[in-house]
Structure 1
Amino acid sequence: MQKLGPQMENPAWIIQVWAAFMISITFTSVGIANLPVDGWIKGFMGMGLTFSVGSTFSLAKTSRDAYEAKRLAARIDEARVERLLTDHHPLK
């Protein structure tokens, strides 16, 4: 049976992902704050940014959970097959 351990991300990758996230949110927020429009339009765009970030996190979590559920189901199926094979002795 194949041993599937937890996936470990490279620390450099984690730093890059968080840096890209923080830079994108910062620059987008600064851009919205400096728009030459009324405050309610800035507020609407800020709410849109907040909703987009929140829904992105939810989508990423849902995708990860679905992947892990499939991975767990595959491990369970593999364990069942392995048990059937070990219980079946042709000379018995």
Structure 2
Amino acid sequence: MTKSVQPSQTGAFYAQAVASFGISVTAMVVALIYMPAASWVRAFLALGLLYVVTSTVVLCKVVRDRQEISEVTNRVDQARLDKLLTQHDPFNLNP
């Protein structure tokens, strides 16, 4: 049976992604706090920022779930094919 190679990520890549997310959200919050605009404008933009962040997290989860489902389906199909190949006897005249 063949083994599939799982893609992996390094700890540095994970740390960079978390730091990048934290820095970008912090920068946007600081910008919203010190922006010279009316409070309702800042509140509207903060709500937009919150919506963008939550929808991005949901999109990442959906993409990951879809990828995991396709990997499981591919593994099941591969297991079925391996079982058929091991049971197949080309010299048997009576199937």
TM-score, structure 1 as length reference: 0.92
Give the corresponding residue for 1:48: 48
Matches within 5 A, 1:8-87: 8-87=8-87
Question: 1:32 corresponds to which letter in structure 2?
Answer: L
Provide Cα deviations, 1:3-53, integer angstroms capped at 9, x if missing partner.
Answer: 247654211111100000000000011111111111111111101101100
For CA contacts below 8 A with separation 6 or more, give which structure has more relative contact order.
1
For 2:45 and 2:89, locate their aligned partners in 1 and report how far apart those are by CA, in whole Å: 67
Q: Can you give the 5+ residue segments of structure 1 that lack an aligned partner in the other structure? A: none
Q: Can you give the 5+ residue segments of structure 2 that lack an aligned partner in the other structure? A: none
Give the paired residue count.
Answer: 92
